[in-house]
Amino acid sequence: MTETRETTVRGRMPRDVRRAQLLAAAQDVFVVNGYHATGMDDIAERAGVSKPVLYQHFPGKLELYLALVENHVDALIARIRAALASTTDNKARVRATVGAYFDFVHDEGSAYQLVFESDLRGEPVVQAAISRSTNACVNEITEKITADAGLDPERARLLAVGLVGMSEVTARSWIASSRTVNKSEAVTLISTLAWRGIGAGFPLQH
């Protein structure tokens, strides 16, 4: 019997839908309890499934946690790429990039903690996923600065690291402060600071 037929007959949830459900449940539990205080029992209970069903999709807690981290890393990288591609005006591009970080911490809810504040950074596979996020975003921004500001890759990369660091830290601070400043205004403040440094100090070369 095929999986599709089996799903129809037994009323089982399609595998990709079940996986998404389990990830959503795990995210809720991990965000509240942290990795170390969370058990597979907690996640199964939250998802309303038995532990065997959970283990059919994820061999262990680490693999489940890593899948969540990878999902959010991919989402952040996609946001940064979209921001950089959204315009050819560099001032608007800086604002869009800063805004992408604020949108990430706002739209992902507390799940941004899995990428920026993970309590499992000491685990090599998790650290590798988080590093992939930072490196990919820095590389994308470096490419634009190198092309537009006429800087060599090493100097352009330092500026990109600065923009990423500024955007990430301020976005996290903003969300932690209960968003006392309107998001649009916060993005304007930080992007103006960044633009006056990058745009004024390193004008377009062509």
End-to-end CA distance of the chain: 63
What CATH number is associated with residue 187? 1.10.357.10
Are the CB atoms for 63 and 30 separated by under 8 Å? no
Q: Tokens 């992902």, residue?
A: 108
The C-alpha angle 141, 112, 107, rounded to 5 degrees, equals: 85
Domain that holds residue 39: 13-59
Number of domains into which the chain is organized? 2
Is residue 1, in this structure, part of any structural domain at all? no
Q: How far apart are CA 112 and CA 76, in angstroms?
A: 9
**Residue 202, pLDDT score:** 53
Cα–Cα distance, 206 to 189 (Å, whole number): 27
Show the beta-strand stretches assigned E in 34-162.
Answer: none
The model scores a pTM over 0.75 = yes
pLDDT tens-place string over residues 13-54: 898 999 999 999 999 999 999 999 999 999 999 999 999 999
Specify the CATH number for the domain of residue 45.
1.10.10.60
